[in-house]
Structure 1
Amino acid sequence: MDHSISLNFNQLSQDHITKLKDAFQMIDGDGDGIISKTDLQEMLGSMGKLNSAEVIEQMLGRKGNSADGMSFPEFLSVMSDLSGEFPEEDELKQCLKNLAEEQSSLNVPLDDLIQSLKDAGFSNPEEQFGKIFKTFSSTQKTTSTKIFKGDSFLATISDD
């Protein structure tokens, strides 16, 4: 491991580290303790994603990792840095409350959420977040309006 890599784990709870260890082991298909190009190609292929050499090099090249692979401590370091790029749960709650029709709920009309994402600069949120929308949306029986279930979504991504 490159010792110039700063390992900043203070942003990760023990539960989060455990979840990341499980994810690392899932990606490390051959179980050698290193996420290699082959491991990433297989993981991306299983998800139906294009696995171009450029994307894989970019994934492995973060934080000065060897192009040959990434160890678990390096993976933790990358994930710790990435976790700072995502909004806090309280920020997500506030955004959903701002869009919700009832302030006591985080359920948002899906069309309103999609429009807000477009306004925020996402070019095609229907495609970019399609799986999330499918998993966390339902149709209201009374109005036939599709609703994004923000409470359920936040419960899934929360560390609690």
Structure 2
Amino acid sequence: MESARPRLLLVEDDRALTALLADLLTEEGYAVDVAGDGHRGLHLALTRDYQVLVVDRGLPALDGLELVARLRGRGMTCPVLLLTARGAVQDRVAGLDAGAEDYLVKPFEVTELLARLRALRRRHPESAGWLPVGHRRLDVANRRVCDGGAEIPLSAREFAVLHALAGRPT
């Protein structure tokens, strides 16, 4: 029932790095979509569902900071990791203030990138497509509740209420 591969959007203009990261992330179990510039990244992020975005800051057509700011302006809450060569404190602050949840400076260790992606997904369980509801799980993407292997039928209104409550546990 559960989607086996979390979807990740990689927005990076360096083709060699993109190929390396796409292969690595695919091996780690992600379904990876790639965009080579900010406009394509914006289009994909707004038209598809992703559990996490990895965005380069220095992109052609639309800078990574502007991309993240536009996504946040349109209500997108998917976690974003900015991956960039700009490592000065003011650059990191600008990236986080633009709406990114994390910021990793190039060159980086692959193990750290993977750990940061796992941490983002833990901190944002709703982005995984499933939310825990007691011992049950709410499948956000397919609008259903599962108890073990059994699906519990809900009306659209019941699902909306449960989703709102599950996203804000006390």
Length-normalised TM-score, structure 2: 0.34
Which is higher, the Rg of structure 1 or of structure 2? 1
More helix by share: 1
More strand by share: 2
